Amino acid sequence: MMKSSDFINLALWSIINIMLFFPRVSPQIFYPPDLPITSPQLVKAYIALQAWKNAITSDPHQFTANWCGPHVCNYTGVYCAPAPYDPFILTVAGIDLNHANIAGFLPEELGLLKDLALFHINTNRFFGVIPDSFIHLKFLFELDISNNHFSGPFPGVVFFLHSLKYLDVRFNEFDGKIPPELFELKLDALFINNNRFQSTLPSNLGNSPVSVFVVANNDIRGCIPPSLANMAETLDEIILSNIALTGCLRQDIGLLRGLTVLDVSFNYLAGPLPESIGAMKSLEQLNVAHNKFSGQVPSSICSLPKLENFTYSSNYFSGEPLVCLRLPGNDDRRNCIPNRPFQRTPDECSNFYAHPISCASIQCPIF
């Protein structure tokens, strides 16, 4: 999984970019109640936020209790800044209602917030769909709607958000296919894990410039597209756990030299671990547990200079070099490795090796 330090670094990177994009962002700007609204942008923001307040059915912590009156820059969770196209116009640049436990839906009027750069509402109880009016949010840089109850197909409105760099829709109830267009967006981080997607990984996966990609805990199936190797210049972390992947890992996965985290655990991947993984000199976390990998664990993998944790339990490996046992985080349980504790039974191992899996014969289903 992603390390907390990486999340912090990504957050700091995002804040720095927003500060450059929207100079003089204030954590809260307070205006006397009798001061007139200073710009058409704030008038539209008032309309949008009042419509949103009316769409809220529960606000147990009273985050929106002060959403009254025209001065929206005073509202909790609303952040104002000079407009990117005119430093003399004050506008709403950010919404942050993370961890508010608010229930309700997103009204179409939110499309009036055309200068939004950040929209963060993770860990609430919002339901429904993302309004089509979000296509007007041309400056939106970060969209985080994770850990809510949004449903329906993947929110296609994001394909119109050309400034978007950070997209987080995890822990919702989105279903259907993962659209190939998603991997043509110029994103830096993409989290779509823990939904109900039923799909394959699109063949153009490798077109994405993301540094972090998490798609765990969905019903993806199929094989890892060969285009994954095209992400060598940008990819830092990829988590593909528990998505019913089949097939084998290709040798060209070793081209991902900048990868620090690779997690393909809890799938149906088979064959040997590619020796080329030993070329991933930046790799820190490698998890291939709960698959059908077999053969010898390559010593080059366990010799990686930065590898801290290597989990390869619950496979059918028949041997491992001593260097693997010296790793600080090593888990080789439930394999077929002689003279190691907590291995599979001899019958399990003999039955598996009596019918060896050929990577060349594996068919990748297409949905």
DSSP-derived letter for residue 110 is G
Cα-Cα-Cα-Cα dihedral sign, residues 176, 180, 185, 187? positive
Average pLDDT score over residue span 90-94:
96
User: Regarding predicted confidence, which is higher, 358 or 6?
Assistant: 358
CB 340 within 8 A of CB 226: no
**Residues with Cβ within 8 Å of residue 346, at least 6 apart in sequence:** none
What burial class does residue 282 get, using C-beta atoms within 10 Å of its C-beta: 0-12 exposed, 13-18 middle, 19+ buried? middle
User: Regarding predicted confidence, which is higher, 240 or 15?
Assistant: 240
Average pLDDT score over residue span 283-299:
97
Strands (E), 183-287: 189-191, 196-197, 212-214, 237-239, 261-263, 270-271, 285-287
DSSP-derived letter for residue 302 is H
Tens of pLDDT, residue by residue over 27-56, are 445 554 555 566 899 999 999 999 999 999
CATH 3.40.50.970 corresponds to the domain 1-176: no
Cβ count near 233 (within 10 Å):
11
Place of tokens 């205006």: 31
Whole-number pLDDT of residue 158:
97
Q: Smallest Cα–Cα separation from 74: which of 143, 26, 117, 141?
A: 26
Average pLDDT score over residue span 218-238:
95
Helix-, strand-, coil-residue percentages of the chain, each rounded to 5: 25, 20, 50
CATH, range 201-358: 3.80.10.10
CB 298 within 8 A of CB 322: no
In a 13 Å sphere around the CA of 161, the CA atoms on its Cβ side amount to 29
Asked whether the predicted pLDDT for residue 19 surpasses 90, the reply is no
* pLDDT band with cut points at 50, 70 and 90 for residue 7: very low
Average pLDDT score over residue span 291-316:
97
DSSP-derived letter for residue 306 is T
When the pLDDT of each residue in the chain is averaged and rounded to a whole number, the result is: 90
Cα Dmax for the chain: 83
Share of the chain above pLDDT 70, in %: 89
* pLDDT band with cut points at 50, 70 and 90 for residue 366: low
Q: Is 337 helix (H, G, I), strand (E, B) or coil?
A: coil
Distances in Å between the alpha carbon of 43 and those of 2, 33, 91, 110?
41, 14, 9, 13
Whole-number pLDDT of residue 33:
54
Both structure tokens of 362: 């594996």
Domain locations in the chain?
1-176, 201-358
Whole-number pLDDT of residue 39:
85
Share of the chain above pLDDT 90, in %: 84
Tens of pLDDT, residue by residue over 162-213, are 999 999 999 999 999 999 999 999 999 999 999 999 989 999 999 999 999 9
Whole-number pLDDT of residue 249:
96
Give CA–CA dist 116/132, Å, rounded.
15
* pLDDT band with cut points at 50, 70 and 90 for residue 365: low
Distances in Å between the alpha carbon of 109 and those of 76, 104, 131, 167, 240?
19, 14, 9, 21, 36
Asked whether the predicted pLDDT for residue 268 surpasses 50, the reply is yes
Average pLDDT score over residue span 107-115:
98
Average pLDDT score over residue span 235-252:
96
**DSSP string for residues in 44-104:** HHHHHHHHHHHTEEE-TT-TTTT--SS-GGGSTTEEEEEETTEEEEEEEEEEE-TT---EE
Whole-number pLDDT of residue 22:
46
